[in-house]
């Protein structure tokens, strides 16, 4: 209860999330059967109980929960599109606008597009289909030059995304959560470039800046795996990552390094916060500094692709910056819940996104579990304190995320502590040297030196990951865990932490009960 009092957004987030989950599990008719009668009965309940202050106080909280639960249900309904009937046999002539740059895959180029118009017997029909289109284009020079915001005239059949085969990843649901319901393969002679620069102006500006930064990397002889890892780690540009490299990072347990996340956004915040600290000396300097920090923070967020982890970090740091500007104290759990609440209001289907789930569980788990694992002592040396702190952070993050990782990815990295101990500090140096290169590339000596450091640190990072990934028994693979088993495994972890922090017989009994339930679940396959 103390947490709920200090973090009021947690009380708002929980019923909203429950409403979204109910909408995903049950048909939409449940809303009208369950929530509509409750909402209609609110005036009658208030009429009989308005004079009783104690009852009214709790009634308000109950009705707020019902309202947020219903709001989450309705938001999810509005974001879920039904399959739209299309003529999958005939060729369609369409005007489409690219919603992403063309990314190079092994056999084709891939891009997402919005269907602006389709030609029918009666003429051109504007915005004829709900949902976006996944384009697969034949590899050629013209397709490699396509960018976000380009308009194309396409003549090809379109199809709905097929359902998954038994036991395979549900790519149809994954795309549907991103409002993509159709796909087509376009050969070189079946499309024509019409015009460019039709996207959002701010996003176009950010993408142009990212391309300039990528050109700076190339200008300093950063190529191959060093370029692919550096651009992914610093700028969120993952198009050049090959399967072998991704496999090594996954087997080492440091896949999070390649995805721009809270650590990356936090480092950007620390760098620019230090650069603008001098502004506090001037009148209204603190306010101007906060505005500039927010501008650079959200510009970086857009440049790196607006992933759930980046959005979460950007929102949390925005609350921190606003709180410092207004001289208000912030609670980490309240900021975490507030950012999740805002993101789910914008897109409730994010709740099914693995990146969204892992990002929030990791941060919340680190904040909650890290103090239980790490107890600083004055007699320890500074280096030993840093090593222990890093190990405890890695252990806390892995402890709260590994059930979901087993459920989604079916493998477990055995050397994650060793890998994080070596690779997290090294990746931090990579990020700092990369930021330095982007800031001082035009300075001859400084730019050359930082480019050399960035290139060799990336090479050392890749070699360390490769060495860790190829150690004997580095990964446990083919682990199958059901959703029931995942929930029970989280119960085991929670009761274990309770037994560790509050060693009572009741907590130990709960831990043993949860463990027995989990073993039973594994044996029966539930």
Q: What is the pLDDT of residues 325-342, one digit of tens each?
A: 776 676 778 888 888 888
Q: Are residues 340 and 267 in the same domain?
A: yes
Domain boundary among 146, 164, 199: 199
Helical axes 285-303 vs 262-275, angle rounded to 10°: 150
Q: Is residue 512 part of a domain?
A: yes
Look at residue 66 and tell me whether its pLDDT is greater than 70: yes
Tell me, what's the pLDDT at 54? 46
Mode of pairing for the β-strands spanning 180-186 and 132-137: parallel
Tell me, what's the pLDDT at 385? 78
Q: Are residues 322 and 269 in the same domain?
A: yes
For 289-316, write each residue's pLDDT tens digit: 888 888 888 887 777 766 666 777 778 7
Model confidence band, residue 84 (pLDDT cutoffs 50, 70, 90) = very low
Look at residue 518 and tell me whether its pLDDT is greater than 60: yes
Domain boundary among 58, 79, 100: 79
3-state secondary structure of 113: strand
Mode of pairing for the β-strands spanning 412-413 and 159-160: unpaired
Q: Are residues 320 and 290 in the same domain?
A: yes
Do 159 and 149 touch, CB atoms closer than 8 A?
A: no
For 242-256, write each residue's pLDDT tens digit: 777 878 887 777 777
CA distance linking residue 303 with residue 300, whole number of Å = 5
For 396-422, write each residue's pLDDT tens digit: 888 888 888 888 878 888 887 788 778
Model confidence band, residue 47 (pLDDT cutoffs 50, 70, 90) = low
CA distance linking residue 20 with residue 37, whole number of Å = 19
HSE-up of residue 146 (Cα within 13 Å, Cβ side) = 33
Q: What is the DSSP letter of 220?
A: T
Q: Is residue 221 part of a domain?
A: no
DSSP-assigned letters across all residues of 445-465: HHHHHHHHHHHHHHHHHHHHH
Tell me, what's the pLDDT at 168? 61
Q: Are residues 70 and 100 in the same domain?
A: no
| Mean pLDDT in residue range 362-381 | 78
CA distance linking residue 459 with residue 522, whole number of Å = 42
* Residue numbers of the domain that contains 139: 92-199
Domain boundary among 303, 323, 344: 344
Look at residue 31 and tell me whether its pLDDT is greater than 70: no
Q: Are residues 178 and 126 in the same domain?
A: yes
Look at residue 92 and tell me whether its pLDDT is greater than 60: yes
Q: Are residues 64 and 150 in the same domain?
A: no
Tell me, what's the pLDDT at 447? 81
Lowest mean pLDDT among 109-113, 350-354, 380-384: 380-384
Q: Is residue 487 part of a domain?
A: yes
CA 403 to chain centre: 18
CA distance linking residue 525 with residue 447, whole number of Å = 58
| Mean pLDDT in residue range 60-83 | 74
Q: How many domains, the chain?
A: 4
Helical spans, DSSP H, in 85-180: 141-144, 171-176
Q: Is residue 40 part of a domain?
A: yes
Do 430 and 458 touch, CB atoms closer than 8 A?
A: yes
For 473-503, write each residue's pLDDT tens digit: 777 777 888 888 888 888 888 888 888 777 7
Q: Are residues 71 and 25 in the same domain?
A: yes
For 16-25, write each residue's pLDDT tens digit: 888 888 888 8
Q: Is residue 169 part of a domain?
A: yes
CA distance linking residue 304 with residue 422, whole number of Å = 25
Q: Are residues 68 and 106 in the same domain?
A: no
Q: Are residues 27 and 124 in the same domain?
A: no
CA distance linking residue 310 with residue 268, whole number of Å = 12
Q: How much is the pTM?
A: 0.77
Closest C-alpha among 392, 401, 432, 424 to residue 252:
424
Look at residue 217 and tell me whether its pLDDT is greater than 50: yes
Q: Is residue 491 part of a domain?
A: yes
Q: Provide the terminal-to-terminal Cα distance of the chain, rounded to the nearest Å.
A: 33
Collect all residues with Cβ–Cβ distance below 8 Å to 70 and sequence separation of at least 6: 19, 31, 35, 38, 39
Q: Are residues 122 and 195 in the same domain?
A: yes
CATH code of the domain containing 117: 2.40.50
Q: Is residue 192 part of a domain?
A: yes
Collect all residues with Cβ–Cβ distance below 8 Å to 77 and sequence separation of at least 6: 23, 28, 31
Q: Is residue 273 part of a domain?
A: yes
């Amino acid at each position: 209860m103390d947490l709920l009092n200090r973090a009021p957004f947690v009380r708002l987030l929980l019923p909203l999330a429950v409403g979204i989950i109910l909408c995903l599990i049950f048909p939409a008719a449940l809303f009208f059967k369950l929530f509509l009668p409750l909402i209609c009965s609110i005036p009658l309940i208030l009429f009989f109980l308005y004079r009783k202050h104690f009852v009214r106080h709790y009634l308000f909280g109950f009705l707020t929960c019902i309202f947020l639960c219903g709001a989450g249900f309705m938001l999810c309904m509005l974001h879920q599109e039904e399959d739209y009937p299309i003529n999958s046999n005939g060729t369609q002539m369409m005007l489409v606008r690219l919603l992403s740059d063309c990314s190079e895959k092994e056999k084709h180029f891939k891009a997402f597009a919005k269907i602006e118009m389709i030609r029918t017997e009666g003429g051109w029909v504007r915005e004829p289909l709900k949902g976006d289109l996944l384009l697969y284009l034949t590899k050629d020079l013209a397709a490699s030059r396509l960018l976000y915001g380009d308009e194309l005239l396409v003549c090809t059949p379109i199809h709905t995304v097929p359902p998954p085969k038994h036991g395979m990843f549900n790519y149809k649901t994954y795309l549907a959560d991103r409002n993509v319901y159709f796909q087509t393969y376009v050969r070189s002679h079946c499309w024509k470039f019409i015009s460019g620069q039709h996207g959002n102006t701010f996003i176009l500006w950010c993408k142009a800046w990212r391309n300039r930064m990528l050109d700076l990397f190339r200008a300093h002889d950063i190529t191959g795996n060093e370029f692919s890892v550096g651009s992914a780690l610093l700028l969120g540009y993952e198009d050049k990552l090959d399967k072998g490299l991704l496999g090594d990072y996954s087997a080492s347990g440091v896949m999070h390094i390649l995805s721009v996340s809270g650590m990356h956004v936090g480092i950007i915040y620390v760098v620019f916060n230090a650069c603008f600290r001098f502004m506090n000396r001037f009148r209204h300097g603190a306010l101007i500094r906060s505005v500039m920090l927010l501008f650079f923070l959200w510009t970086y967020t857009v440049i790196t692709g607006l992933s759930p982890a980046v959005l979460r970090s950007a929102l949390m740091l925005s609350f921190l910056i606003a709180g410092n500007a207004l001289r208000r104290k912030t609670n980490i759990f309240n900021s975490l819940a507030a950012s999740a609440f805002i993101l789910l209001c914008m897109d409730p289907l994010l709740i099914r996104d693995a990146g969204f789930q892992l990002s929030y569980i990791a941060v919340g788990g680190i904040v909650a579990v890290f103090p239980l694992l790490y107890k600083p002592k004055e007699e320890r040396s500074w280096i030993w304190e840093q090593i222990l702190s890093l190990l405890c952070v890695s252990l806390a993050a892995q402890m709260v995320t590994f059930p979901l990782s087993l459920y989604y990815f079916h493998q477990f990295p055995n050397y994650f502590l060793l890998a994080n101990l070596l690779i997290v500090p090294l990746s931090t140096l990579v990020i700092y040297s990369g930021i330095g290169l982007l800031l001082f590339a035009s300075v001859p000596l400084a730019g050359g030196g930082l480019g050399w450091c960035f290139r060799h640190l990336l090479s050392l990072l890749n070699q360390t990951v490769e060495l860790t990934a190829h150690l004997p028994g580095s990964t446990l693979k083919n682990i199958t865990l059901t959703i029931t088993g995942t929930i029970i495994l989280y119960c085991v972890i929670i009761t274990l932490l309770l037994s560790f922090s509050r060693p009572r017989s009741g907590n130990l009994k709960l831990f043993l009960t949860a463990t027995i339930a989990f073993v039973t679940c594994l044996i029966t396959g539930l």
